[in-house]
Amino acid sequence: MPEQFHRPVRRPTAAFDNLVGAADPAEKSRIAHATASALLERARKDVTGETTERLIAFASEHGIDEIAELWSHAPARSLPGALWRLYLLQIAIRSDAATTALLYERGRVELQSADSLIAGAPTPASPEELAELVDTILRGVFQGDFAVALERAAAYCRVQASGATHTADDYEPTEPGRASELTRRALRLSGYADDLSASAAAWRRGALT
């Protein structure tokens, strides 16, 4: 999987700059939080599930440029920040499903915790099954228990991080560059796990905005 978890992000269009006020970080933050809240509310009110399925498919069909414009600079432990990280996980598995599945399985074997059970992937999980897992987690965000969905995503990240760390150790003697890439990936995933867990706790307190 590429080092970054998404396609290259285009620069904001003129229309978007005019909408959010490119020179006003406070306004961008307000828009990020408002759109995340409105999107979540709309999906949860749609009992047919059609809105949720469109939201799940959006990044795969259109990339995440538009989402990035809104949420990528939001605080990690906020509603838009949490949604942004979930979309990054979705893009990650779809960008390089084989590598993601290998790292997940390595982490599942090495990690002495209940995280693989919490995440809910089959044992072992195929690339297709991991892609479906991430989509299922997103469905939980938009239709189910939001905090539980974030906790599942955090557990998924911890398993992936463990796999990346141990695989980096394997590469270190012969391919130090690859080992460094995997180490950075593990650190990033560990950070995602911490942020998603904290966001889940904040949601339960009614403090995630």
Q: Please indicate, yes or no, if residue 111 is contained in any of the structural domains.
A: yes
Q: Does 201 reside within a domain?
A: yes
> Within a domain: residue 8?
no
What pLDDT, in 10s, does the model give residues 128-140?
999 999 999 999 9
Residue 45 has pLDDT above 90, yes or no: yes
What is the residue-wise DSSP string for 182-206?
Answer: HHHHHHHHHHHHHHHHHHHHHHHHT
Judge whether residue 148 has pLDDT over 70: yes
Q: Is residue 3 part of a domain?
A: no
Amino acid at 135: D
Radius of gyration of the chain from its Cα atoms, rounded to whole angstroms: 17
Percent of the chain predicted with pLDDT > 70: 89
Residue span of the structural domain in which 67 resides: 14-205
Instruction: Measure the CA–CA gap between 85 and 195, rounded to whole angstroms.
Output: 9
Q: Which two tokens stand for residue 33?
A: 């939080």
Mean pLDDT of all residues in 54-78: 87
Each residue of 73-103: pLDDT tens digit? 999 999 999 999 999 999 999 899 999 999 9
Only one residue has tokens 């012969």, namely 174
3-state DSSP call for residue 51? helix
pTM for the whole thing? Answer: 0.86
Secondary structure (3-state) at 129? helix
Q: What is the pLDDT of residue 58?
A: 87
Residues 7-16 have pLDDT tens digits of 333 333 333 3
d(CA 90, CA 171) in angstroms, rounded, equals 26
Indicate if the pLDDT at residue 18 is higher than 80. no
Contact 170, 83 (CB under 8 A): no
Give the per-residue pLDDT at 64.
80
d(CA 143, CA 28): 27
Percent of the chain with pLDDT over 90: 76
How many domains does the structure of the chain reveal?
A: 1
Q: 9 lies in a domain?
A: no
